[in-house]
Structures are given as structure tokens and as C-alpha cells.
Amino acid sequence: MLAVAVASSRTLEVLDLEGTGLTNQSAQVFLDMVENYPTSLRVLVLAENDISPELQQQISDLLSEGEEEDNRDVPPPLGGHAPSSALQPIREKHQPLTWVPHSSKG
């Protein structure tokens, strides 16, 4: 069910599933998802699960291919030399996620 939710999301770019008890079977579902459905997902963290390194690499490779396709849609800068800011990546490959606890206090 999580893979279906990820596939239907147009904004989710990073999903950290580290140490969540996933197996090759569940990773295969995510592999099928990134192979067959357009997704905005760019990073899927699967470390510390019972998933083969080969399967993790296949998923990573497919996500990387999707990012390369996105970068081809960006037009080259106009003019002679691009400013140094244009040479920076559009988005970081993986930024640590920060959890902010909910507080009922104003």
C-alpha cells in the first residue's frame, strides 16, 4: 500500500525506510513501482533491511535515471557564461530529514 501511495504522490522526493524490516519481496514492489510508474521520488533509503545489495542497486539506478531525465528538461542558460549559482545542482541528492515534534503549546 505504501508503494501505491508513493507512486501516486507528485511531491514526495525522499523516502527513508531504513531499518523498517523490509525484505526482498517488499523491495521488489518498490522496484516495480519505479520501473513502471512516473514518480517524483528521487531517494529511497533501504539500508538496514533484509534486502539484497543487488536489488537496492537496481532501485537506486532507476531513481538516478529518472533524475537525469528531469535535468534534460532544464534549458541551458542564456548568454555567454553561466553564473556560478547556475552550476549548482537543482536539488541535493540526499538531505538529512529533520523531525520536529508536534507541540500543542503556542
pLDDT single digits (tens) 19-58: 999 999 999 999 999 999 888 999 999 999 999 999 999 9
Global confidence as pTM: 0.61
- Mean pLDDT, range 53-80, rounded to an integer: 71
Q: What is the DSSP string of the chain?
A: -HHHHHHH-SS--EEE-TTS--BHHHHHHHHHHHHHS-----EEE-TTSB--HHHHHHHHHHHHHHHHHHHHTSPPPSSSS--GGGGS-SS-S-PPP------S--
